[in-house]
Amino acid sequence: MTYDFTKTPASLDEFWMPFTPERMFKKNPRIAVRADGMHFTDDKGNKILDMSAGQWCTNAGHNRPKIREAIMSQLDSLDFMTCMNMSHPSAFMAAERLVKVFPKNMKHVFFSNSGSEAVDTALKIALAYQRKRGKPTKRILIGREQAYHGVNFGGISVGGLSYNKSDYGGQLLPALDHLPTTFDLENAAFSKGEPDTNRGIEKANALEGLIALHDASNIAAVIVEPVVGSWGVIPPPKGYLKRLREICDKHDILLIFDEVITGFGRLGDYSASTYFDVLPDIITTAKGLTNSVVPMGATFVTGEIYNAFMQGSELSAELMHGYTYSGHPLAAAAAIGNLDTFEEDKICANAAKMAPFFEEALHSLKGLPHIIDVRNLGILGAVQFESHSADNPYHYSRQAFLKLYEKGIYIRFTAYSLTLSPPLILDQSHIDQSVSAIRDVVKSL
Ligand SMILES: Cc1ncc(COP(=O)(O)O)c(C=O)c1O
């Protein structure tokens, strides 16, 4: 073998890492060298239970043979071809398969390389769509406080996390507004699943307030994560998403669901919109789309949106947008292998089956010191700690993450919370092992 990627690298200096306190990490690095199923092994030989699926990513579990087979078959026949004025089979095959399993109103899909790109693609399509149908004043994009929509300029603009934009000059796109967060510690703490606080409608009605302020004739689209992921798994209060849909319909505003995390089985189906029984106009996804084996993002649109572009001269591109790697053969092959894996192993059904056990186990942590909330929906969960201090607010979640790793369990922390998003091939033993480890660790904090 010419290449060996299983050894600790000689130098950690050159790689500038994403969203990581570099100096702290490089003093005590955690480096995975192999992975299979629910586990990975680090360079010190520790076998670690991956209760975060990398980063909400490997929903089908690690090292899936069908995905490998699809990628290798693609590589054996064609390594690369652009999809601009040329193409290759797997991009079309992946698109056809994906549209079949996504909600029935999603008829076409645009490929990119990440969730951030899928989101910016969605925002651009929304703006261009409004112009195509003769409504050019509809330019305002509405996001939500505490939302994460990736790191590109569009995504951080509609996003609602100040720490992701403050270094770059605050608000970035010119025409923006934000809905209030649905996070409601006071009324919804320790809710199981969607909080039943009677506040879903009221929270969604805030959109009516923004419409009164800006006028619907100026608003292009609303974008939300059906379940907030990155800030720490915030399921919407009951009725919220349905009400958003009603208001968008009433005022002719597009509704975009960012399903980079909720897509591919997390709520027991390929799309969370099936779970919530709400059909958006555009869906973005990534991560679980290829099991993250090859990067890929996808933006699904309705037939109505697509058809608005397929008008006029056939001489020029209908959408002035695209990436060199849109529909990359290896990513498309990975998406197809991933869909086969999902179907053969009934992965969505397993997620739905395990969700009640996951919920019960997580909520058994209520009452432990420092824990101020537990949230869950499908196979997504968060355990939120109180703030430790003004200069080190995330101390408890960070310490819990580090101590869990020492015990052989990887559970990411984001802000105040440990966030759980294990591969959807999990069984009850993985849930029991991690919840009992969290219990021990929290007692020792
Ligand atoms: C809801 C949501 N949108 C977009 C993104 C960005 O995806 P990526 O990191 O692949 O660019 C993420 C990443 O976690 C996400 O959770």
User: Ligand 1 in contact with 120 (CB < 6 A)?
Assistant: no
Mean per-residue pLDDT, 241-251 = 98
Residue 62 has pLDDT above 80, yes or no: yes
Best residue for ligand 1 mutational test, from 117, 144, 260 (most atoms within 8 Å of Cβ): 260
pLDDT of residue 171: 67
Residue bearing the CA closest to ligand 1, atom 5: 150
Could you tell me what percent of the chain has a pLDDT over 70?
100
Could you tell me what percent of the chain has a pLDDT over 90?
98
Contacts of 432 (CB under 8 A, 6+ apart): 361
CA torsion angle for 405, 408, 414, 417 (degrees, to 10)? -100
Residue bearing the CA closest to ligand 1, atom 7: 115
User: Ligand 1 in contact with 335 (CB < 6 A)?
Assistant: no
pLDDT of residue 281: 99
pLDDT of residue 1: 72
pLDDT of residue 189: 98
Cα–Cα nearest to 94, from 272, 419, 288, 327: 327
The pLDDT tens digits of the residues spanning 400-415 come to 999 999 999 999 999 9
Residue bearing the CA closest to ligand 1, atom 8: 115
CA distance 17 to 32: 15
Q: Return mean pLDDT, the chain.
A: 97
Best residue for ligand 1 mutational test, from 20, 261, 284 (most atoms within 8 Å of Cβ): 261
| Percent helix / strand / coil, the chain, rounded to 5 | 40, 15, 45
CA torsion angle for 21, 26, 27, 29 (degrees, to 10)? 100
pLDDT of residue 392: 96
The pLDDT tens digits of the residues spanning 183-232 come to 999 999 999 999 998 899 999 999 999 999 999 999 999 999 999 999 99
DSSP per-residue string spanning 56-88: II-TT-BS-HHHHHHHHHHHHH-S---SSS---
Domains of the chain and CATH, by start? 22-60+346-443 (3.90.1150.10), 66-344 (3.40.640.10)
User: Cα(223) to centroid of ligand 1, in Å?
Assistant: 13
User: Cα(261) to centroid of ligand 1, in Å?
Assistant: 7
Q: How many CA atoms lie within 13 A of 52 on its CB side?
A: 21
pLDDT tier for residue 169 given thresholds of 50, 70 and 90: confident
User: Cα(116) to centroid of ligand 1, in Å?
Assistant: 6
